[in-house]
């Protein structure tokens, strides 16, 4: 399938999920993550849920991270150049939704991409090769290109892998792992 076809398929699939399914699957994904050997690092980047797009509820992962006393980093997206700036999440961080319904920090201590050790990545679809497809603005491809090569890239998905996504481009950054409610994929 092409990226366009595949985006439509998974947007529709997501919209069919009930609130309780989203909650159950999000918890299952967080529990799967505990089985990965990724917990000895310090700097973890996580996305905040766009509820309107029925994304994974990342609150469970945030709880794990704060329970383990990790540095938690969240981003602000710039829709003019599709870049992201990263900030340390603290007890004082004020979060506000932007015009795309993405919850974002208002301000805070800025962290550079090169400091990140683990990045949890939102996606619409992934395939058996670790290719990922998002909303099509290239935010994460640009962001991940600025991380160190050894930074762990972990996709989170409600649905299992597609056989193959066509039209993969040079800029598309592949995943190291993808975690679903039922499975851990290693690439
Ligand atoms: N929680 C979260 N944060 C994220 C991402 C994500 O996928 N999830 N992104 C991952 O890259 C970037 C933001 N990318 C986005 C791109 C488009 C739209 C959006 O609303 N686009 C269309 C229509 C949406 C649709 O396709 O249904 C619009 O303009 O209305 C939102 C976020 C950075 N932060
Ligand atoms: N590192 C980069 N530098 C410049 N342009 C880029 C880069 N990465 C991706 N792009 C461009 O961004 C556009 C969208 O890319 P793509 O379709 O892969 O987005 P996506 O991965 O689905 O979206 P997102 O990362 O926002 O979830 C493409 O035109 C692509 O060429």
Pick the residue whose CA is nearest to atom 25 on ligand 1.
Answer: 135
For residue 1, the model assigns a pLDDT of 80
Decide the pairing of beta strands 177-179 and 152-156: parallel
Residues with CB under 6 A from ligand 2: 3, 133-142, 145, 169, 171-172
For residue 2, the model assigns a pLDDT of 84
At CB < 8 A and 24+ separation, what contacts does 164-167 make? 164/127, 164/128, 164/129, 164/131, 165/1, 165/3, 165/6, 165/125, 165/126, 165/127, 165/131, 165/133, 166/1, 166/2, 166/3, 167/2, 167/3
Q: What's the pTM? A: 0.97
- Residues 16-35: tens digit of each pLDDT: 999 999 999 999 999 999 99
Structural tokens at position 122:
């939102």
Structural tokens at position 17:
């999920």
Atom of ligand 2 nearest to the CA of 133: 22
Question: Which contiguous run of DSSP H or E holds residue 64?
Answer: helix 59-67
Closest listed ligand to the CA of 137: 2
For residues 179 and 185, what is the distance between their CA atoms, to the nearest angstrom? 6
- The Å distance, Cα 117 to ligand 2 centre, comes to 22
For residue 166, the model assigns a pLDDT of 86
For residue 176, the model assigns a pLDDT of 98
What residues contact residue 147 under an 8 Å CB cut-off, 6+ apart? 113, 114, 116, 119, 153
156 lines ligand 1 (CB under 6 A): no
Closest listed ligand to the CA of 103: 1
- Nearest 5°: phi and psi at 168? -70, 130
Pick the residue whose CA is nearest to atom 10 on ligand 2.
Answer: 138
Structural tokens at position 71:
């540095």
List per-residue pLDDT tens for the chain, 187 residues long. Answer: 888 899 999 999 999 999 999 999 999 999 999 999 999 999 999 999 999 999 999 999 999 999 999 999 999 999 999 999 999 999 999 999 999 999 999 999 999 999 999 999 999 999 999 999 999 999 999 999 999 999 999 999 999 999 998 888 889 999 999 999 999 999 9
- Residues 52-85: tens digit of each pLDDT: 999 999 999 999 999 999 999 999 999 999 999 9
Which one of 9, 132, 170, 171 would you pick to mutate in the ligand 2 pocket, going by the greatest count of ligand atoms within 8 A of its CB? 171
- The Å distance, Cα 136 to ligand 2 centre, comes to 6
For residue 170, the model assigns a pLDDT of 86
Q: Which domains does the chain possess?
A: 3-186 (3.40.50.10420)
Atom of ligand 1 nearest to the CA of 49: 1
Mean of pLDDT over the chain: 97
For residue 169, the model assigns a pLDDT of 86
Secondary structure class of 103 (helix, strand, coil)? strand
127 close to 162: Cβ distance less than 8 angstroms? yes
């Amino acid at each position: 399938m092409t990226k366009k076809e595949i985006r439509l398929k998974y947007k529709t699939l997501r919209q069919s999920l009930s609130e309780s399914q989203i909650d159950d699957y999000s918890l299952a994904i967080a529990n799967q993550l505990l089985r990965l050997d990724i917990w000895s690092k310090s700097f973890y980047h996580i996305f905040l849920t766009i509820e309107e797009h029925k994304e994974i509820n990342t609150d469970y992962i945030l709880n794990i991270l704060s329970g383990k006393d990790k540095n938690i980093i969240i981003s602000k997206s710039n829709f003019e150049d599709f870049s992201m700036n990263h900030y340390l999440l603290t007890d004082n961080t004020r979060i506000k939704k932007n015009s795309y319904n993405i919850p974002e920090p208002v301000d805070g201590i800025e962290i550079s991409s090169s400091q990140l050790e683990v990045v949890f990545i939102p996606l619409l679809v992934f395939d058996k090769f670790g290719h990922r497809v998002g909303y099509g603005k290239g935010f994460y491809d640009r962001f991940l290109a600025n991380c160190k090569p050894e930074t762990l890239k972990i996709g989170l998905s409600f649905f299992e892998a597609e056989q193959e996504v066509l039209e993969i481009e040079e800029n598309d950054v592949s995943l190291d792992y993808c975690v679903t409610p039922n499975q851990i994929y290693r690439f």
